[in-house]
Amino acid sequence: HNASEERPILYFTTLSEPLSKVVRYLQRFNFYDEEKLGTQVVYEDIGPQLAAGGAGALIPLLREAITTLSPKVIVIDSFKAVHDLAPTVAERRRMVYDMTALLSAYGTTAFLLGEYTEDDILAYPESAVADGIVELSRRRLGNRDERYFRVFKLPRSRYLEGAHAFRINETGLDIY
Name the strand (E) or helix (H) holding 119: helix 118-123
Taking only the tens of pLDDT, the chain with its 176 residues reads 788 888 999 999 998 888 888 889 999 999 999 999 999 999 999 999 999 999 999 999 999 999 999 999 999 999 999 989 999 999 999 999 999 999 999 989 999 999 999 899 889 999 999 999 999 999 998 999 999 999 999 999 999 999 999 999 999 999 99
| CA dist., res. 96 & res. 160, Å (int) | 29
pTM of the model: 0.90
For residue 37, the 8-state DSSP code is: B
Contact by Cβ (8 Å): 10, 40: no
| CA dist., res. 45 & res. 69, Å (int) | 16
> What is the structure's pLDDT at 147?
96
